[in-house]
Structures are given as C-alpha cells and as structure tokens.
Amino acid sequence: RFHDVGGYDWVSSFRQQRGEEVGKGRYLTPVHEIQRSDGSWEAHYFSATRYSPGDVTTCCCEYVGGAGFGSPRTLADYCRAEVHGRSQDSMLEVCSPYMAEPCPPDNTTAQELMGTPFIEVYET
C-alpha cells in the first residue's frame, strides 16, 4: 500500500512455507513526478525499506510508473546498499551515507547508469 505521505508498507505470504513477510518503506527524498503526453507517468525518490523476518535495510533509488490510468504499476529498485543488523536505527540514519549522489532523473537513465533493477509489478 502506497501512502499519501511518508512511504508504503506490505504483507506478503510466503509461497514455499508458512508465514509472511511484513515490510515498510520510507521516502527519504522528495518524490519527483513525470507526466507524459501519452498518459504514462513515472515517479522516483530515494527509499529505504525494512522487512521481517530479517534484519536488513535496503537503500535504493526507486522508480514507480505506469502506462496510464488503471494500468499496472511497475516498481524498479536500484539498490545502493543492503545493510544488515541495524534495525534499531532509523532508516534515514542507516541510508544517509548512500544518498550523497542524487538518483538519476528517470528509470531509463537509471538503468543505463546502474544496471538491471529489481522489478515488481502491481495490478491497480
């Protein structure tokens, strides 16, 4: 679920075992939006995520976009760091060292500069 302010959260059942992953993400920079004349759109920001089970904080340039109203949302993560063992610290504190360089201005440029992202697709 994407929230209007601050971030997003999720609950996802495991496929191969009982239980679920519970996570949260935070926008650590302002969200930059692009609206295109063909109706497609894209937003990007620097994000931090944390999930359980596990003790990992990810620090990523994240891009979300779609082809238009009602189309699936595609999320692409270009992670700069996976930090283990610091779940007691704020996500901003953990990820600050990886935010010195701004994220590329759009997903295409990010892929050119940062390589293949981790991708998830969500129905709307």
- Token reading at 67: 């082809």
63: tokens are 């891009």
Nearest C-alpha neighbor of 62 from the set 118, 124, 122, 121: 118
Rg (CA), the chain: 15
pLDDT at 92 over 90: yes
Task: Enter the tokens of residue 35.
Answer: 């609206």
Identify the CA nearest to 61 among candidates 23, 22, 25. 25
pLDDT digits (tens, 9 = 90+) for 44-68: 999 999 987 788 999 999 999 999 8
* φ, ψ (nearest 5 deg) of residue 117: -85, 170
Chain segment 65-90, per-residue pLDDT in tens: 999 888 999 999 999 999 999 989 99
Residues making up the chain, counted from first to last = 124
Residue with tokens 């994407």: 2
Please give the C-alpha separations between residue 95 and each of 24, 49, 92, in angstroms, as whole numbers. 14, 10, 5
